[in-house]
Amino acid sequence: MAFGDPAEDCMQQALLAAKMNLHLTSPNPCVGAVVTDMNSRTLGWGATRPAGGPHAEIGALVNAEQAGHVTQGATLYVTLEPCAHHGRTGPCTEAIISAGITRVVAALADPNPLVAGKGFARLRAAGIEVSVGEGAFEAREQMLGFLSRMTRKRPWVRLKVAASLDGYTALADGSSQWITSAEARADGHAWRARACAVLTGIGTVLSDDPSLNVREFDTPRQPFRVVIDSQLQTPVSAKLLSQPAEGGPVWIYGADGAPQDRRAALESAGATVTLLAADTVRPGKLDLNAVMRDLASRGINDLHVEAGTKLNGSLLAAGLVDELIVYTAPKLLGAGMGIGSLPPPPSLAAAQQLTLQSAQPIGSDLRSIWRITDPQSFFPI
């Protein structure tokens, strides 16, 4: 596309609209839409509302109507294929057709089996011109969690760590508060807010008693809080359970055979306890792949991990981490706990490879984002 191309500009408006509701829409994807006239003048815009609320296309059409604009002959720019089925809301395709839209420009096709081309087919059957691909890269980045859940049946997993310049996340005795600055911690809460759920392990619960809620970022909703706790050792007095109003619901995953009295106590304290198969390779430990599948079945798109070196290492070794958010402090600790307990590779050539996505100073620290999974591998564009 040439610089200043009207189609590119209109899709950028739709992407911006989607970004406004980034924290609100799960388990639905964050979608944006813009209605324009033949001169690419914006008539209305919309973003998908929380589950059960209007989709982006409906919001854009209503916004145009309320502004007194005529949508007959207009173009709709939308970041994801419009739905053609009855769910919590009616099919967007019918509203688009009724509004007299003659052209739809979509960034991505929807991999949801309930949609998966049916939306485009319905629009084309009604004589509406459909084109796909404008803004695809940006739209995919916004919806990585949803696309991962639909295609891989597991969330997009971000692992957040705070480490010294020489790679230690805590002293040998476990002390880690605080390696990084207040600004970095606040930025970490913004990433928590973006996620559908925040996950940690029982080791972190016992040593740090975290709340796992969003405190330093203004958010309209708190993410679910998830604990990997094979033997259900979480104390009922843990902040996660004793201060329920301060965060989202608590889900605890234990292994089959965990003590039933512990399960009953945790459920009485307000947790949802799920027992899954134990790992065949790690006796007494959970099958982390099964955890990810279960989280996906509950509508978790984006999973934010803040755990200790053992769980971090297990997730990395299982190939379940897609992205690392690393806050590097200008400190040298000399020794301590690393990012994750991993077996050493047989050679440098066999080491895990990561791709740098971005690097940005945050306070006195450096935030770098490293990608392990290439989205092209599960959702090519």
The tokens of 321 are what? 């981490």
Choice among 57, 81, 138, 323 that is catalytic? 57
Active site residue 57: yes
Residue 40, number of CB atoms within 10 A of its CB: 15
Q: Which of 231, 228, 276 is nearest to 258 (CA)?
A: 231
The one-letter amino acid code at 335 reads A
Half-sphere exposure of 345 (CA within 13 A, CB side): 9
Residue 231, number of CB atoms within 10 A of its CB: 14
* Secondary structure string (H, E, C) spanning the chain: CCCCCHHHHHHHHHHHHHHHCCCCCCCCCCCEEEEECCCCCEEEEEECCCCCCCCHHHHHHHHHHHCCCCCCCCEEEECCCCCCCCCCCCCHHHHHHHCCCCEEEECCCCCCCCCCCHHHHHHHHCCCEEEECCCHHHHHHHCHHHHHHHHHCCCEEEEEEEEECCCCCECCCCCCCCCCCHHHHHHHHHHHHHCCEEEEEHHHHHHHCCCCCCCCCCCCCCCEEEEECCCCCCCCCCHHHHCHHHCCCEEEEEECCCCHHHHHHHHHCCCEEEEECECCCCCCCECHHHHHHHHHHCCCCEEEECCCHHHHHHHHHCCCCCEEEEEEECCCCCCCECCCCCCCCCCHHHCCCCEEEEEEEECCEEEEEEECCCHHHCCCC
Catalytic residues: 57
